[in-house]
Amino acid sequence: MRTLALVVVCSCNRFVPAPPQPVTAHAEAIGSGVQAVPGEAMEFRATARGIEVGIAQTAIGRAGWIGDRHAIVVRTRATADGLVALLGEFSWELSSTIDLDAGVPIEDREQASARLISGEHDRRDQRRTWDADDRVHDIHSAVGAVRAWHSEPGASTAFDVEVGGGRFTVSLRDAGRELHAGKPAVRYEGSAAHFPFVTWVSDDEARVPLAFHCDTELGTVAVELVAYDVVDAR
């Protein structure tokens, strides 16, 4: 049930977490820090084989300080929708406090809940604190690092991501520029835990995540941006 809840938000988490793999390039190869715009609000819809399965909202707070570390809070909540919602209630939440200079979290909290119509219920609540030299990403910092990576076509990198208690290596390559849903975009191709994916980021200063398509055991799972706004975060 945890896996189904995770599918709602991050599309390629339909797998048993793989053991850590050697990383050829860490976050430093992507760029220093992360890109996160205070007050950003994004809404995404997820589909599996073209069938709607969930919706997720991400909100970014205002930048502040934790001791001498410049930080920002990013929160995402995802819930089941469409046909999946007929099976029960599924939700997944991640709240991350990210070091804007180091580009990785200071701490995060991940919660997942599933309640089937049969009455079966599963709930998970996990917190993690990062050491100063830890360069493993969570989902929020990984997305922020990619947004901050102003790569040239053909450039490639790799980094570790931890989610749902498992760690896997993401490889990424700049596959060039193209239009996605009518918007100029940078196309990135890669793989995560042996599952191939394609993701698009807007080709402008904002570098907004536009879409993520991943081939999984469920077939192609797609996450598409459907709403974007920036509100006053002061």
Per-residue pLDDT tens, the chain, 234 aa: give them.
Answer: 333 333 333 333 333 333 333 333 333 345 557 898 999 999 999 999 999 999 999 999 999 999 999 999 999 999 998 877 778 889 999 999 999 999 999 999 999 998 888 888 899 999 999 998 899 999 999 999 999 999 999 999 999 999 877 899 999 999 999 999 999 999 999 999 889 999 999 999 999 999 999 998 878 999 999 999 998 755
Q: What angle do CA 48, 176, 103 make, to 5 degrees?
A: 75
Q: With contact defined as beta carbons under 8 Å apart, do 148 and 159 qualify?
A: no
Model's pTM, two decimal places?
0.83
Q: Which residues contact 15 (CB under 8 A, 6 or more apart)?
A: 3, 193, 195, 216, 217
**CA distances from residue 38 to 42, 74, 90, 230 in whole angstroms, order as listed:** 12, 9, 28, 8
The pair phi, psi for residue 141, each rounded to 5°, is -70, -30
* Burial grade of 155 (CB within 10 A; 0-12, 13-18, 19 or more): middle
* Cα(151)–Cα(201) distance, integer angstroms: 11
Distance CA 166, CA 220 (A): 22
Give yes or no for a contact between 114 and 4, defined as CB atoms under 8 angstroms apart.
yes
